[in-house]
């Protein structure tokens, strides 16, 4: 293994699962990160094995997770990008085998599993992080900068939307066919991103209220949900995630005592990855001017409104920070404690929706 501090050899990364997450998101980002190498791929599908051999000819292809663990001493990091039910058992087994672990979001299917993972991380001394790549979205970085600069004054409301139009469920999609108890549904999927972004900005909420609905036939968990988070500093975060929105609202709308910021459209990095681009491309993470958000302010009772250039998105930062953490040069990019908090909020949101009432967040 090559994880000793100061060792200049690249970290060997094994990606467990070569579906959309492994092939489109993780492999290109790892491959583009200096000091990292995709050295292993785990997939049972012969078709995906063939694709992995084409995409990553120098990587060793494993037909099972157990095969990878038998050669764990040849790797530094395991990236778990399998169905949500596999996250906890595979992450725990990988850490016990001596590997640091990155888990795709959500970290697990419940908070109890997350706590088990954290305990194994402490016992083994192996790092555990969760792939909340949307902390490095262009628009979210812009929102964060505006809030920190004071351009909006004291923030009162933070609105966040992931709204899409998919009237027919995807065929053979475990994300849409699984029950919430097995990590299915939109709150676990896009909702975990939106909740993580809100708590990254404002901390732990005091109260959670949620509405969760199943709008389409043939699925077992939510596809149209709303979550409200109240924070100690007075901020209310309103989060919408939907697959039945034929007209999407603002991706972000942030209201403050000195102004407001509103932004349509989504960060370009996911689409770029789907189209075969990587962070090595010159225009990576750059939003076109047509998608820049608007800042509205009042100065001396005069209304001023103008476009705000979006900061450059940089999902690759996740793996750059993870590389440094493995080499002992800093913390992991997303702490397991933060992922646990997101999981606890999702569980409380589900409970709130069932009871149709706001529920207090435990601060024990």
What's the rounded Cα separation, in Å, for the pair 268 and 152? 25
Length of the chain: 364
For 301, the enclosing helix (H) or strand (E) is: none
Could you give the residue range(s) of every CATH 3.30.360.10 domain in the chain? 138-266+280-313+345-360
Q: Output the pLDDT for position 7.
A: 65
CA 286 and chain centroid, separation: 19
Q: Output the pLDDT for position 5.
A: 46
175: Cβ contacts below 8 Å, ≥ 6 apart: 184, 189
Tens of pLDDT, residue by residue over 167-225, are 998 877 777 778 888 888 999 999 999 999 999 999 999 999 999 999 998 888 999 99
Q: Output the pLDDT for position 1.
A: 54
- Specify the CATH number for 138-266+280-313+345-360; select among 3.40.50.620, 3.30.360.10, 3.30.70.330, 2.170.8.10: 3.30.360.10
Mean pLDDT of 297-322: 92
Mean pLDDT of 327-346: 97
Tens of pLDDT, residue by residue over 16-61, are 999 999 999 999 999 999 999 999 999 999 999 999 999 999 999 9
Mean pLDDT of 73-85: 96
What's the rounded Cα separation, in Å, for the pair 112 and 123? 17
**Nearest Cα to Cα of residue 207 among 231, 225, 226:** 231
Cα atoms in the 13 Å half-sphere on the side-chain side of 153? 13
Residue 343 has pLDDT above 70, yes or no: yes
Average pLDDT, the chain: 94
Model confidence at 360, in pLDDT bands (50, 70, 90)? Answer: very high
The proportion of the chain whose per-residue pLDDT surpasses 70, expressed as a percent, equals 98
Could you give the residue range(s) of every CATH 3.40.50.720 domain in the chain? 11-133+318-331
What's the rounded Cα separation, in Å, for the pair 187 and 143? 22
DSSP notation for 198-257: HHHHH-SEEEEEEEEE--STT-SS-SEEEEEEEETTS-EEEEEEESB-SS---SEEEEES
* 110: number of Cβ within 10 Å: 17
Model confidence at 364, in pLDDT bands (50, 70, 90)? Answer: low
Q: Output the pLDDT for position 363.
A: 72
CATH number 3.40.50.720 given to 11-133+318-331:
yes
φ and ψ of 138, to 5 deg: -60, -45
Model confidence at 362, in pLDDT bands (50, 70, 90)? Answer: confident
Residue 252 has pLDDT above 50, yes or no: yes
Q: Taking the CA atoms of the chain, what radius of gyration do you get in angstroms?
A: 21
What's the rounded Cα separation, in Å, for the pair 170 and 41? 25
Tens of pLDDT, residue by residue over 98-122, are 999 999 999 999 999 999 999 999 9
**Nearest Cα to Cα of residue 36 among 335, 329, 277, 320:** 320
């Amino acid at each position: 293994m090559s994880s000793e501090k100061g060792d200049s050899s690249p970290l060997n990364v094994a990606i467990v699962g070569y579906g959309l997450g492994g092939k489109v998101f993780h492999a290109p980002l790892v491959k583009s990160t200096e000091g990292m190498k995709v050295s292993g791929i785990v997939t049972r599908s012969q078709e995906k094995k063939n694709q992995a051999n084409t995409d990553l000819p120098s990587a060793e292809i494993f037909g099972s997770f157990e095969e990878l663990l038998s050669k764990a001493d040849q790797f530094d990091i395991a990236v778990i990008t399998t169905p949500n039910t596999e996250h906890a058992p595979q992450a725990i087994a990988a850490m016990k085998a001596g590997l640091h672990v990155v888990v795709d979001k959500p970290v697990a299917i419940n908070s109890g599993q997350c706590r088990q993972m954290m305990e194994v991380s402490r016992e083994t001394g192996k790092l555990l992080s969760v792939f909340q790549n949307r902390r490095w979205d262009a628009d979210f970085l812009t929102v964060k900068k505006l809030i920190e600069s004071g351009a909006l004054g004291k923030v009162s409301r933070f609105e966040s939307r992931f709204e899409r139009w998919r009237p027919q469920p995807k065929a053979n999609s475990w994300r849409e066919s699984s029950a919430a108890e097995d990590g299915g549904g939109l709150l676990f999927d896009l909702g975990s991103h939106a909740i993580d972004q809100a708590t990254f900005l404002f901390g732990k909420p005091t109260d959670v209220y949620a509405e969760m609905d199943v709008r389409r036939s043939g699925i077992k968990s939510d596809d149209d949900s709303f979550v409200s988070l109240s924070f100690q500093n007075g901020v209310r975060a309103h989060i919408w995630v939907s697959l039945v929105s034929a007209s999407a609202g603002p991706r972000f709308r942030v209201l403050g005592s000195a102004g407001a910021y509103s932004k349509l459209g989504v960060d370009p990095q996911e689409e770029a990855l789907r189209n075969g681009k990587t962070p090595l491309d010159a225009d990576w993470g750059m939003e076109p001017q047509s998608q820049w958000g608007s800042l509205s302010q009042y100065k001396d009772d005069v209304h001023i409104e103008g476009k705000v250039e979006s900061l450059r998105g940089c999902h690759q930062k996740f793996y750059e920070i993870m590389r440094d953490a493995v080499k002992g040069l800093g913390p992991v990019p997303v702490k397991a404690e933060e992922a646990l908090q997101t999981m606890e909020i999702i569980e409380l949101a589900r409970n709130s929706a069932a009871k149709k009432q706001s529920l207090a967040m435990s601060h024990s």
